[in-house]
Amino acid sequence: MRIARALWRLVLLLALVLACLVPHLIARRRGPSRWPRIFLRRAGQIAGFDVRITGTPVLHDVFLVANHLSWLDIPLLGGATGCAFISKDDVRTTPVLGWLAAQNDTIFVARERRGEVSRHIESVRAAVSAHQPIALFAEGGTGNGKHLLPFKPPLFSVLLPPPRNILIQPLLIDYGAATSLMVWPDGESGIANALRILGAPGRRTVTLHFLTPFDPGDHPDRKALAAETRRRIAEAMEVRAQAASLVGPSAV
């Protein structure tokens, strides 16, 4: 039953791609397209997730920095905010996924190639200058939902000096009782992970906690900026964990 459910959801996702493709390509000829956001929002719903938002999202001139648990973070966050993402360069060449990511104006970066950092920074600055919200999973990998991995500071360089009136808004992605489902175990393949998540019965709610934004210009360098952003998300994660321990997992 789980495999059948996962395959049915994959069929629905394929149908969604086909339904959004033509209007998206037409819209792009005239300017920015709203169809990637529509696609991402519906993809999250097809996967069995509803989004709840706390706090006030800043949707223009903002650098969203979030924790990272799953590939599903992307459609859930992108559908809720219309943001573009900063992604590892190898995603660009991944069949289907690379093309889909490019349609949402993803900024691909080769994090291990220090000589290309300045070019990536200019790409991010161009997106920020177009008033597009940019999202970064600063851990550089998927965590366990309970503790944050170290943040990678290099791409925070784009914010020093900050272009225009850009803000950083820390963001906690909280799957609540579904956290154990979303965690990507070591050794699990991408296909197995997708089938496991898409095959899960019922509907679940993910909460996007938009934390208080702050001015990156108040911090002296990229390491301090990364540390402050991580501190705020870790603090929110701890508050959530304490609340969950008081009310029980079924209420989270």
How many helices (H) and strands (E) the chain has is answered by 8, 7
Is residue 155 over pLDDT 80? no
Report the percentage of the chain scoring pLDDT > 90: 57
pLDDT-derived band at 96, boundaries 50, 70, 90: confident
How many of the other CB atoms lie within 10 Å of CB of 148? 18
Highest-confidence segment of 53-57, 87-91, 135-139, 142-146: 53-57
- On average, the pLDDT of the chain sits at 88
> Identity (one letter) of the amino acid at 242?
Q
Q: What is the DSSP letter of 25?
A: H
3-class SS of residue 88? strand
Confidence (pTM): 0.89
For 48-189+201-251, which CATH class? alpha beta
Asked if 19 and 38 count as a contact pair (C-beta separation under 8 A), the reply is no
Say which residue the tokens 């170290």 belong to: 150
What 3-state DSSP class applies to 118? helix
- Comparing 109 with 106, the larger pLDDT belongs to 106
The pLDDT confidence band at residue 113, using thresholds 50, 70 and 90, is: low
Most confidently modeled range among 3-7, 31-35, 181-185, 220-224: 3-7
Length of the chain equals: 252
CB burial of residue 115 (10 Å; 0-12, 13-18, 19+): exposed
Joined together, the tokens standing for residue 138 give 């600063």
Q: SS3 for 137?
A: strand
136, 86 in Cβ contact below 8 A?
yes
Give me the amino acid identity at 138. Answer: A
Q: State the Cα–Cα distance between residues 74 and 103, nearest whole angstrom.
A: 13
- Neighbouring CB atoms inside 10 A of 53's CB total 13
**47-62 pLDDT per residue, tens:** 999 999 999 999 888 9
In the predicted model, what is the mean pLDDT of residues 218-241?
A: 93
Can you read off the two tokens belonging to residue 24? 């998206």
pLDDT at 209: 98
Q: Strand 107-109 and strand 167-174: pairing?
A: unpaired
Give the residue extent of every domain in the chain: 48-189+201-251
- When pLDDT is cut at 50, 70 and 90, the band that residue 252 belongs to is very low
String of DSSP letters for 98-148:
HHHHHHTT-EEE-TT-GGGHHHHHHHHHHHHHTT--EEEETTSS---SSSP
Q: Give the model's pLDDT for residue 213.
A: 97
Q: What is the pLDDT of residue 61?
A: 87
Residue 112 has pLDDT above 90, yes or no: no
For the chain, state the CA radius of gyration: 18
pLDDT at 88: 81
pLDDT band at 251 (very low <50, low <70, confident <90, very high): very low
